[in-house]
Amino acid sequence: MGKKSDINYLHGQVEGIYHAVGKGIGESRHLLKRQGIRSEKIHSDSTRRAYIDDRFHPLVDFAHQRFGIKSVLQLTDEIVGSWIREERIGKHLAASTINVDVAFVGKLEKMLTNFSRMKGHEKEFSFPSRVTTTREAIREGINPNAWEGKGRSYERPLELIEAIRIEMHQIMAELQYYGGLRAEGVGAPRDKYSKAQVDLGNFMGIVLDPFTKDRLVGVIEVTEKGGKTTKHYVPVPVYERACQYIEINGPIRENYECYLRSINKAAKATNQSVRGRGDHGLKHNFAEELVNRGLKHGKTQETIYAEGARQCAHARMNILPKYYLGR
């Protein structure tokens, strides 16, 4: 089989796989959801173009030229990871664009696995590099003039939190990192006239995570900038620790500058100090990790950005890729 027919065969396979197991246009995804069915198909022309035309076909071109594959079913995590790094990150595409690439790879896993099963095979396709490359993609998109070119999020946020010496400040930092709250939301408003604090009335109980539905989380409801009230979801141990602290010591209320000094000292102690990161860097960590969890659970770009913006107390979903990712 010649080189030209090889690539024609590959592109024919792409279309065949899409029509066999990926095409959901004309089927109501929302109706399936109400019936308790989680669709793994593509339900709109725009998503079809974005996933199949703009990504699946270029991926097999790359895989054929770079790795010599002769069947789409020969795709591996190494090949997919190389495509993301070389053809996407390496070309300095926007972080938001690369996040779509990674979401596409999640859909690709399901399509190839379902196609393999339809053909009577047991092969399950898994491309874990789609998640691990997300942070790398975001890092590559950093504005070289922003935060000394390192991005506003911390490289090792848990190490930073562990290095905070004041227990109340450590709890506040945990809430920012895990829940996406502003400093005002954790009881350290910049406005000295603000009465913002965190007390037991802000703790709304433990529920199944409404975003990923894979874990129990504690719900914290706070009112922050612009009077916007938002629910935030944190791991149960973090939620319970904050509750216990307030039960013993009373509401969390702190001077913002004092809290910021604790963050900056911990950043210096862990060699993560960059001018301008401050406590807000933990919100950037939160946004990055929410994207990773969303991708891992097969969420669409629009769903991830909308949920991330909501949990960061913003009205517009483009806030996430514009200000929190790739910065």
Question: Domain ranges in the chain?
Answer: 3-140, 157-324
The domain defined by 157-324 folds into hpI Integrase; Chain A (1.10.443)
| C-alpha–C-alpha distance, residues 177 and 156, integer Å | 11
| C-alpha–C-alpha distance, residues 166 and 185, integer Å | 18
Query: pLDDT grade, residue 311 (50/70/90)?
Result: confident
- Is the predicted pLDDT of residue 151 greater than 60, yes or no? yes
Task: Find out whether 24 and 41 touch, Cβ atoms under 8 Å.
Answer: yes
Of 48, 78, 41, 46, whose CA–CA distance to 63 is shortest?
78
| C-alpha–C-alpha distance, residues 105 and 98, integer Å | 11
pLDDT computed for residue 131 by the predictor? 65
| C-alpha–C-alpha distance, residues 184 and 254, integer Å | 10
Average pLDDT score over the chain: 84
Of 295, 325, 326, whose CA–CA distance to 312 is shortest?
325
- Which tens digits make up the pLDDT trace of 75-110? 999 999 899 888 887 776 666 677 678 778 888 998
Query: pLDDT grade, residue 147 (50/70/90)?
Result: very low
Query: pLDDT grade, residue 121 (50/70/90)?
Result: confident
User: E strands along the chain, which residues?
Assistant: 203-208, 216-223, 229-235
Task: Find out whether 111 and 104 touch, Cβ atoms under 8 Å.
Answer: no
> Over the range 111-129, which residues count as b (16 or more CB within 10 Å of their CB) and which as e?
bbbbbbeeeeeeeebebeb
What is the side-by-side order of every strand in the sheet holding 203-208? 203-208, 216-223, 229-235
| C-alpha–C-alpha distance, residues 43 and 17, integer Å | 15
Q: Provide the Cα torsion 12, 16, 19, 23; round to 10°.
A: -80
* Paired strand residues for 320: none
Phi, psi of 192 (to 5 degrees): -65, -15
